[in-house]
Amino acid sequence: MKRSFALCIVLSGLCLVAMDHSATAQTMLDNSAEKASPFVKATLKALTTRFSGAHPKFRNLAVHTNSDKKQVVCGQVSLSNSKTPANESFLSFGASEDTEQPIVYEARTIPTALDSREANQWINHGADLEELEELGCVPEGSYRQYGDTLNKVLQDSKTNATR
């Protein structure tokens, strides 16, 4: 009886390991990862693990080196359940060899009116965009444009509140 119980425990453990290992497969929607370096593969695996419930799909991978001669990978990830996700479902991401976790930025339109209590949330949201710009993953000036838009909305909200 003890042997069969131990065998059940061992087999269930092996099944869990196999299930966990198969859950880290990446889905590439284009051929941008054909000759991916170990760093790129590790970045994709980290994102797949981070969003394991969504089965992420990747595209537009690009690799370059930064001023410190470290590899930087940029790309887009979709968390959509569709086999062919819509363009608007893709989030920009980037990672450098000297960072711990990839940075993922979800482009969200800033509402035309904001409560001042929401300002910190939107400022923090923009920090990911700033980091992606520093990595060279989004066009230069993206963060400034985001900040200008946010400041205008906050200024308009402040002006309307004083009327």
Q: What is the predicted pLDDT for the residue at 52? A: 87
Query: Which residues does 64 contact at the CB level (< 8 Å), separation at least 6?
Result: 71, 72, 74, 136
130 in a structural domain: yes
Collapsed DSSP state (helix, strand, coil) of residue 80: coil
Looking at the structure, tell me whether residues 98 and 61 fall in a common domain: yes
- The answer to whether the beta carbons of residues 114 and 154 sit under 8 Å apart is yes
5 in a structural domain: no
Q: What pLDDT, in 10s, does the model give residues 93-138? A: 999 998 889 999 998 888 888 877 888 899 998 999 999 999 999 9
Look at the block and give the residue holding tokens 């990911």. Answer: 128
15 in a structural domain: no
- The answer to whether the beta carbons of residues 132 and 103 sit under 8 Å apart is yes
Look at the block and give the residue holding tokens 């990862």. Answer: 33
Tell me which residue range forms the domain holding 117.
107-163
Of the residues 61, 87, 103, which one is the last residue of a structural domain?
103
pTM listed for this prediction:
0.74
Q: What is the predicted pLDDT for the residue at 27? A: 74
The bridge status of strand 103-105 relative to strand 27-28 is unpaired
Q: What is the predicted pLDDT for the residue at 118? A: 84
- The answer to whether the beta carbons of residues 82 and 134 sit under 8 Å apart is no
Q: What is the predicted pLDDT for the residue at 16? A: 36
Sheet with 71-78, strands from edge to edge, namely 27-28, 57-65, 71-78, 90-96, 103-105
8 in a structural domain: no
Q: How far apart are CA 155 and CA 53, in angstroms?
A: 39
Q: What is the predicted pLDDT for the residue at 30? A: 76
Looking at the structure, tell me whether residues 73 and 134 fall in a common domain: no
Q: What is the predicted pLDDT for the residue at 92? A: 96
With b for 16 or more beta-carbon neighbours within 10 A and e for fewer, the 92-119 pattern comes to bbbbbbeeeebbbbeeeeeeeebeeeee
Q: What is the predicted pLDDT for the residue at 83? A: 87
33 in a structural domain: yes
Looking at the structure, tell me whether residues 51 and 93 fall in a common domain: yes
Residues of the chain with pLDDT under 50: 1-24, 163
